[in-house]
Amino acid sequence: MAFQKKYNTYLLAILAICFAGCKAGGNFPGMEYMPDMAHSKAVETYTPSPTVDNEVLFANGMSARLPVKGSIPRGYMPYHLKDTAEDYELAGSSVRNPFHDDREAVLKNGKKNFEIYCAVCHGKGGAGNGSLTSLGSGPYPPPPSYFKEGYLDMSEGKMFHSVHHGKNLMGSYASQLTQNERWEVITYIKSLQAKEAKSSQKLGSDEEALAYVLRTSAVSGGYVAPAEDEPESFLDALMSQKLEKGSTITLKNVFFNSGSFQLKPESFVELGKLVSILKNNPASKVEISGHTDSQGDANANLELSKNRAQAVMTYLVTNGVPKAALTSMGYGASVPVADNETEEGRARNRRTEFKVVE
């Protein structure tokens, strides 16, 4: 009995504390044991300074305060390169777009901010005819069109650098747009450039056009080597030839994310050529095969190679190659073409091939 009474008293005390703590809201932070700094009592901005013990708390009488020196907004990322010519080049070769593989997802936000911040000069379409410029209805000299040589292939790192630091007549956008927002805008600019490239370079599909723009700008930035001439011209040559039964061709410029079977956009140019070749040879039947190196688990490699071959096949079918003309196979590491002991050999073994079977 005595025990239960004591127990009830404790229970009541705890409930009382809970209720007292629950009244939080508005300017009252509630009662807390060891209060969190995030729940400090709010002082309204633009009101006279509060008083404590009849003394004005802040010397200038205002409640609005500057942030503590050195404080940074939540989510802020510093940018390590300086506003110098050398660092501009360095940005071109080393600063990569974090949305590289997921462009679609950020285009909407990129477009919105581009139209708010950039279109007044660069024009909604990117041709440099914004309303502030003499090509629009304004007094200022127009910025260069994004479609001119030197801009169409400008690396995304350089663009980011210029938008961060500003360039000549263009001011910095570092304080208007967060880093991610700046990248979203640049992703959008690249999509405008792809649209233009599709017609000017006579590219077949939107994907090919985007791959073209990304590839040329990655090459100009120096983070992708120019494509080797030989294999490319080899596929180009095949475009006007009849496919020969039994021939096997390695696709040099088909790329996947590491360990995954998602095609990288850089692959679409090469795959676009393959689409044309197969459409020109409607009587041929082709096997698409995936191969890995011998590193890692054999079953996982087999599965990965199957999925990669399947991904290529799906791309071809989606782009109009009849399904009946294709089969896909995964061989894992079982058909090496080079020594698995060296990195160079392993790189050659990780490949996608197509073989003309009929």
Q: Between the CA of residue 120 and those of 117, 134, 137, 145, 184, what are the distances in Å?
A: 7, 11, 10, 13, 18
164 and 172 in contact (C-beta within 8 Å)?
A: yes
139 — phi, psi (to 5°)?
A: -90, -10
- Nearby residues of 56 by Cβ (< 8 Å), 6 or more positions away: 49
Exactly one of 103, 111, 158, 308 binds ligand HEC (CB under 6 A); that residue is: 158
Q: Determine the size of the site formed for ligand HEC (CB under 6 A).
A: 18
Q: Which residue has the tokens 């040099």?
A: 252
Asked if 170 is part of the footprint of ligand HEC (rule: CB under 6 A), the reply reads: yes
Asked if 159 is part of the footprint of ligand HEC (rule: CB under 6 A), the reply reads: yes
Exactly one of 31, 96, 107, 117 binds ligand HEC (CB under 6 A); that residue is: 117
**Which residue, 77 or 283, has its beta carbon nearer to ligand HEC?**
77
* Residues within window 28-87 making contact with ligand HEC, judged by CB under 6 A: none
Asked if 163 is part of the footprint of ligand HEC (rule: CB under 6 A), the reply reads: yes
**Which residue, 159 or 275, has its beta carbon nearer to ligand HEC?**
159
Segment contacting ligand HEC by CB under 6 A, of 93-101, 163-171, 224-232, 332-340: 163-171
Exactly one of 144, 226, 320, 322 binds ligand HEC (CB under 6 A); that residue is: 144
Segment contacting ligand HEC by CB under 6 A, of 97-105, 166-174, 275-283, 341-349: 166-174
Asked if 135 is part of the footprint of ligand HEC (rule: CB under 6 A), the reply reads: no
Minimal distance, residue 100 CB to ligand HEC, in Å: 17
Report DSSP state, residue 120: H
Identify each DSSP E strand in the chain by its residue range: 51-52, 55-56, 248-251, 286-291, 326-330, 351-356
Distance (Å, rounded) from C-alpha 305 to C-alpha 290?
4
Distance (Å, rounded) from C-alpha 291 to C-alpha 221?
30
- Tell me which H or E stretch contains 113: helix 107-113
Segment contacting ligand HEC by CB under 6 A, of 71-79, 113-121, 251-259, 344-352: 113-121
Asked if 168 is part of the footprint of ligand HEC (rule: CB under 6 A), the reply reads: yes
Going across the sheet that includes 248-251, the strands are 248-251, 351-356, 286-291, 326-330
**Which residue, 122 or 350, has its beta carbon nearer to ligand HEC?**
122
Q: How many CA atoms lie within 13 A of 310 on its CB side?
A: 10
Asked if 152 is part of the footprint of ligand HEC (rule: CB under 6 A), the reply reads: no
Asked if 100 is part of the footprint of ligand HEC (rule: CB under 6 A), the reply reads: no
Q: Which residue has the tokens 């590289």?
A: 100
Asked if 122 is part of the footprint of ligand HEC (rule: CB under 6 A), the reply reads: yes
User: Which residues on neighbouring strands pair with residue 249, listed in sequence order?
Assistant: 354
**Which residue, 172 or 327, has its beta carbon nearer to ligand HEC?**
172
Reading phi first (left if > 0) and then psi (alpha if -120 to 50, else beta), residue 123 is in left
- Comparing C-alpha atoms, which of 198, 303, 210 is closest to residue 259? 303
Exactly one of 106, 135, 185, 333 binds ligand HEC (CB under 6 A); that residue is: 185
Minimal distance, residue 130 CB to ligand HEC, in Å: 7
348 and 337 in contact (C-beta within 8 Å)?
A: yes
Kindly state the tokens that stand for 136.
Answer: 């629009």
Minimal distance, residue 66 CB to ligand HEC, in Å: 27
Exactly one of 121, 197, 238, 275 binds ligand HEC (CB under 6 A); that residue is: 121
Kindly state the tokens that stand for 134.
Answer: 């003499």
Segment contacting ligand HEC by CB under 6 A, of 8-16, 161-169, 262-270, 347-355: 161-169
Segment contacting ligand HEC by CB under 6 A, of 10-18, 117-125, 229-237, 293-301: 117-125
Distance (Å, rounded) from C-alpha 263 to C-alpha 254?
8
**Which residue, 173 or 212, has its beta carbon nearer to ligand HEC?**
173
Other CB atoms within a 10 A radius of the CB of residue 91 amount to: 23
Exactly one of 167, 195, 264, 355 binds ligand HEC (CB under 6 A); that residue is: 167
The residues that touch ligand HEC, with contacts defined as CB under 6 A, are: 117-118, 120-122, 132, 143-144, 158-159, 162-163, 167-170, 173, 185
